[in-house]
Amino acid sequence: MTDDPEVLIRVEKNVGRITLNRPKALHALTLGMCETMIGALLDWQDDPEVYMVLIDHTGERGFCAGGDIRMLADSGAKDGVEARRFFHTEYQLNHLLFTYETPVVAVMDGIVMGGGVGISMPAHIRIATERTTFAMPETGIGLFPDVGGGWYLPRLPGKAGLWLALTGARIKGADCMRLGIATHFVEFGAVEGLKKAIIADPRRIEETLRKYRADAGKASLLGFEQDLNRLFVGESVEEIFEFLTLDSSDWGKAQLEVMKTKSPQTLKVAFEQLKRGAAMEDFADNMAMEYRIGSRVVMKHDFIEGVRAVIVDKDNAPRWSPARVEDVTDAALAEIFAPLPPGEEWTPLT
């Protein structure tokens, strides 16, 4: 055990600094971390001496690999109270960052998945490196691409967001630049110098970013972007499966095999989530929708089974129920997306 705080909070000159500090857990978010970040952001939002907020991480392995999945599964197997509390607080943090007026910079170095996406995508400036790996892998554990995925993913170019949501594909820094997930690319070796330069003069950040800007190289997406936008256009998950089944390209066949391993329930939830999120005009509405989904999905068989197979037993052989996409009924989906009882809905911070 360690007494080190899970998040390091301080102000350096005129920059509020939030540094994730759970390196052995790849900085996976806990309830306490979310509460600490909310507290710091609220303290700084009206402070005229804080010109900018910088979010980064200690160690070298990753920015943030997500949330505390085992806690969520343990809670979901019981009454779900702890899981709902975590989601409610995490989504308030996501919304606070989305609406934050003071400029926020996120250094998306290393692994950026799940909860890490939720605290980096709202940032005004999002910096990728050659070590960035971005993904929303929730379909593989029976969860869903939350933390604002219903808002961000359908707003990416073409069908890239739907592809990321359904397959859990991992993309690198150059791809993040191409899709607008990252706003700037900096070589890993220059990151510490960049942070020092930002802190030295946060008002001249655009000039600093130009100085440190590097070439991200060729995005791997360029090799299959046309196939992606041709195949992930169905009006349902079943239709996308049909398009992939009939397709002769190696890339299409590979996506089909990947999707066959995912939770059928989650595939349909994610499809519906992105469809609804794309039509929304207020980020808070999206987070309220995702809280409804999370409150239900965390207690369902597929999430508890997915965590068992991938994280606990690590046999990577989840037994999904239902086992086929066609057997996930409209009624089951409607129940997952339905409003919560009075007094139980998600609300943003006031």
> What does the alpha-carbon distance between residue 197 and residue 193 come to, in Å, rounded to a whole number?
6
* Active-site pick, 56, 68, 109, 146: 146
Q: Is 110 a catalytic residue?
A: no
Peptide bond into 318 cis (omega under 30): no
* Active-site pick, 115, 116, 142, 173: 115
Distance, C-alpha 41 to centroid of its chain: 20
Q: Is 138 a catalytic residue?
A: yes
* Active-site pick, 56, 138, 175, 225: 138
Cβ–Cβ < 8 Å for 185, 129 = yes
Residue type at 130 in one-letter notation: E
Cβ–Cβ < 8 Å for 110, 62 = yes
> What does the alpha-carbon distance between residue 166 and residue 43 come to, in Å, rounded to a whole number?
38
Q: Is 115 a catalytic residue?
A: yes
The H or E element that residue 7 is part of is strand 7-12
Note the helical H segments in the chain: 31-44, 69-76, 81-98, 115-120, 149-152, 160-167, 173-179, 191-200, 205-212, 225-231, 237-246, 250-260, 264-279, 283-297, 301-307, 330-337
Q: Is 187 a catalytic residue?
A: no
For residue 142, give every residue at least 6 positions away whose Cβ sits within 8 Å of its Cβ, in sequence order, or none: 263, 265, 266, 297, 300, 301, 302, 303, 304, 305, 306, 307, 318, 320
HEC assignment per residue over 92-109: HHHHHHHCCCCCEEEEEC
* Active-site pick, 16, 66, 67, 150: 67
For 160, the 3-state DSSP assignment is helix
What residues are paired with 106 via a beta bridge? Answer: 55, 126
Closest CA to 58 of 141, 104, 102, 2: 2
For 163-174, b/e burial (b = at least 16 CB within 10 A) is bbbbbbbebbbb
Catalytic residues, which ones? 67, 115, 138, 146
